[in-house]
Chain A
Amino acid sequence: MNTGDIVNLSRRRFVTSALVSVAGLTLGILPGVRAGERPSAPENAGSVAAQAGEFSPNAFLRIDQDGLVTVISKHLEMGQGTYTGLATLVAEELDADWGKIRVAGAPADASRYNNLFWGPMQGTGGSTAIANSFDQLRRAGAVARQMLVTAAAELWQVPETEVSVAAGVVAHSASGRQAGFGQLAELAARQPVPETVLLKEPEAFTLIGKRIPRQDSAEKIDGTAQFTLDVKLPGMKSALVLHPPRFGVSVKSVDDTAALRVPGVNKVVSIPSGVAVVADDFWSARLGRDALSVSWDESGAFSRSSAELLDEYRELARTEGTLVRKEGDAAQVIAQADSLLEAEYSVPFLSHSAMEPMDCVVRIDDSGCDIWNGEQMQTGDQMAVAKLLGLKPEQVRINMLYAGGSFGRRANPAADYLLEAVHIARSLEQGTPLKMVWTREDDTRAGYYRPMYLHKLRGALDAAGNPLAWEQRIVGQSILAGTPFEAVMVKDGVDHTSVEGAVNLPYPIANFQLELHSPQLPVPVLWWRSVGSTHTAFAGECFIDELAHKAGQDPVAYRRRLLADQPRHLGVLNLAAEKADWGAPLGRGQGRGVAVHKSFNSYVAQVAEVTVRRGVIYVDRVVIAVDCGIAINPDIIEAQMQGGMGFGLSAALYSELTLDQGRVVQSNFNDYQILRIDQMPEVAVYIVPSAEPPTGVGEPATPVIAPAVANAVFAATGQRLRKLPLRLA
């Protein structure tokens, strides 16, 4: 210990001394700046403009004179590996040296950084990052490569056709001349941008398909990675919000006397979603919030309980819903069937519970509004904030930082926590940066849940045991109702996110009918990793298993025959079954279950092996087969299969958010349980080789595990569990 080196920090001297003593760290979190990059002033937040001498042929990359290639990611890195995947696409066609690639988050600018699958919208979700960028970013890299080649040919006075590029080196083999990208950057920047470029054939890939290292590992291992929670700006204030105890409740009156007496507390401000306490630091804000005395107007409180809601949903499921899809006449066939099966499945509300609770940094001044956030939906948030502040959307400048998980929570059409932070920031002196942080309890209780759903299914078999009719009614809140997406994504009263995975059931059934009830409740709901498939895969893959059992057939063989015309479903099913030794004997109390499901254009099959002992379900091993088209990075795909399955396993076995007379029962990880290391099964991942365009990997493993485990529990015990989280009778 170096005792001569004493740092003195006091509350009173906090602002100045903290800035001096941790200047290096402060620099490190300036907006848009990541390790290895030059710092830029906050005024240039998110700027990706090329500096002098840099080569920046398009919006997606720049090369500096040291040869460092910065890839601009239009998508949020929230753990799914997108910074690495997107950079791989650019580097592949650029023939860059992977060691000289860096990634920076793009600013909010949908004119350049829109998600090509979302039209004019910029944002990350639906496992689309790689899929929508596959051609765009390879082309961006190929354009840059071509301009470097043209520059080299001009410099060396040789034909372009004789210039080659490999691993970041441009060379002319006949003359032995070579140059790094940095040496050619300035000259390349002056070349015409080619209108057409040739992309590589897959055989020529050197990075795509390889287990190349993640871009974000080092800084997430040494603690320097910058999340929203880590942002520190000069003069920044901290805020916490006291939310109403139930949905539909507003503030009646506030007594802030005691709160304002807490040292470090600056002010208390009522905002539409509650009462905010602004202070010099988090802890003062926390003590201030604890000291608040608020009386609530509970006249409009939503005061129903989960159990009541489930009963109401069950009643609704007895009635005809909005028709989603109909073939043949399922009702009539079922009415006349000899072999009939009926079942009801249900899933609870779920919180996303990312490890980083919701947080946001906002600074408002004359020129507009700067936001620092693990930003998942730039365009929607820009519009929402601009509307609130009376700004143009482009005056809302968003710095996209790493998100400590999100699972959909940070892409909210209601922009809830951002607007909350903006409401607080605009009550402060102009230009004062404000960091709003939710506690874990806030994060659990402030809403935007995966909706509760109930599925009612009826099926009929023919004499050979094949499904002749399938009738399914889904009951649950629409995620998109009342959002700007409603106009586009809710058609004829059907929210596609409520029925995805059910409307496209892969099994050919001549008499098929799908109906939907979308009850409206004031419980705020949102997409949650794999969205509709979180419940449709559970209901559909359990019910087909029940039909197989009723038909007296093996669950894999049954599906295999029905999927004869679905080669990619069949491919993952066969691979998983083979690798899991489907059919091999297991011990007492053990069972194997299978499920196969397509979501976000990727196909996943899982075989779960469980042991049931003294009423407890242990998942011992899961074999996963995935077909996601061309595998960009097999290591990240494996990680997403493991992690996506693990996320789904939390919901299958442990997590449940319940309402008791409108109050959220759970508050923190003691009662909102998520998977722990000792509960993580062994996992084997197999990737189907494919030349198809790449599709998503962040979500498709999540919905498959609950039905696989439920089916395995049936195999082990003979009990059909139809409610999540699974609990033995």
Chain B
Amino acid sequence: MHRFALEEGKVLNITINGKLYQLDLDPQMPLLWALRDHVGLTGTKYSCGQALCGSCTVYLDGDPVRSCVTPLSTAAGREITTIEGLDSAAGRAVKQAWKELEVVQCGYCQSGQIMSAAALLNRQPQPTDADIDAAMSGNLCRCATYLRIRAGIKLAGRRLAGGAA
């Protein structure tokens, strides 16, 4: 990983879902809006703009971040993963569990929920309820799909632990 010294008009090189993008955009623009309005990846959602709800969660070099408060300059030279590119073992297990347990309702927050859940399982394949609370309490769901989110994380975790995902 290397970082660019930013100058006026400097193109930002950012790898998104394995593809290198050269973005001639305001370095202060939140990553979220670059993804949505310029790269065309709309799976990542806007909801609060203040890192208060988790709907915009993406990975920056593998770690979950709130893209609504992450300036593009922070992402320069680094690797971004969005819901569209989530293909880790944990990511696949979470998506499969979400489908089996019919987690989604309106679905708007679910990209962020799935990104946070997969990141948790990456660190900790068999999380306790307390681990789930700690990792997921910043991801709001107005439909209150929380019970199925919790069950989905546990199911995916069991699959990962058993190597069946």
Contact = CB atoms under 8 A, between A and B. Distances in A.
A283 B37 contact: yes
B148 interface: yes
A263 B24 CA distance: 13
A355 B142 contact: yes
Contacts of A226: 42
A247 interface: no
B42 A440 contact: no
Contacts of B143: 79, 405, 643, 646-647
Contact of A676 (B40, B104, B140, B145): B140
Nearest to A645: B144
Interface in A67-84: 78-81
Contact of B105 (A80, A232, A678, A682): A80
A214 B83 CA distance: 20
A528 B158 CA distance: 39
A3 B20 contact: yes
B83 A223 contact: yes
A642 interface: yes
Size class of the contact patch on chain B: 35 or more
Contact of B15 (A1, A9, A355, A440): A1
B22 A7 contact: yes
A213 B99 CA distance: 8
A350 interface: no
A217 B95 CA distance: 10
A668 B145 contact: no
Given A10-B24, A80-B105, A405-B108, A223 B84 contact: yes
A639 B24 contact: no
B110 A220 contact: yes
A21 B40 contact: yes
A405 B142 contact: yes
A229 B45 contact: yes
B162 interface: no
A649 B10 CA distance: 49
Contacts of B136: 677
B96 to A, nearest CB: 9
A299 to B, nearest CB: 32
Contacts of A14: 38
A22 interface: yes
A217 to B, nearest CB: 5
A223 B115 CA distance: 11
Given A7-B21, A404-B106, A646-B144, A356 B137 contact: no
A606 to B, nearest CB: 14
Give the one of B42, B95, B140, B145 with max A CB within 10 A.
B42
Given A9-B39, A238-B37, A635-B102, A221 B110 contact: yes
A217 B104 contact: yes
A669 B48 contact: yes
Contacts of B93: none
Interface residues of A, number: 79
A10 B48 CA distance: 26
B5 interface: no
Interface string B1-23: 00000000001000100111111
A5 interface: yes
B40 A221 contact: no
Given A639-B148, A642-B144, A229 B15 contact: no
A225 B107 contact: yes
B106 A354 contact: yes
A8 B22 contact: yes
Contacts of A3: 20
Contacts of B39: 7, 9, 21-22
A664 to B, nearest CB: 16
B77 interface: no
Interface string A203-247: 000000000011011111111111101101000001000000000
Interface in B106-120: 106-111, 114
Contacts of B148: 639, 642
Contact of A678 (B24, B79, B83, B133): B133
B145 A224 contact: no
B49 A439 contact: yes
Interface in A638-656: 639, 642-643, 645-647, 649-650
B29 interface: yes
Given A281-B33, A283-B37, A643-B145, A223 B106 contact: no
A677 B107 contact: no
Contacts of B137: 676-678
B59 interface: no
Interface string A648-686: 011000000000000000001110001111101011000
A169 B140 CA distance: 44
Interface string A509-533: 0000000000000000000000000
B92 to A, nearest CB: 11
A647 B146 CA distance: 11
A727 B122 CA distance: 39
Contacts of B99: 213, 217-218, 221
Contact of B42 (A1, A2, A232, A643): A232
Nearest to A670: B52
Contacts of B73: none
Interface in B88-102: 95, 98-99, 102
A213 to B, nearest CB: 7
User: Which 4 residue pairs across A and B have the least CB separation, nearest first?
Assistant: A223-B43, A646-B144, A404-B108, A22-B40
Given A223-B44, A405-B142, 11 more contacts: A1-B15, A216-B107, A220-B107, A283-B26, A355-B108, A356-B108, A407-B142, A639-B148, A650-B144, A675-B146, A676-B146
10 contacts: A2-B18, A9-B21, A11-B25, A223-B43, A354-B106, A404-B108, A405-B143, A650-B144, A668-B48, A676-B137
Interface of A: 1-3, 5-12, 14, 18, 21-22, 25-26, 29, 78-81, 213-214, 216-227, 229-230, 232, 238, 263, 281-283, 353-357, 402-407, 437, 439-440, 635-636, 639, 642-643, 645-647, 649-650, 668-670, 674-678, 680, 682-683
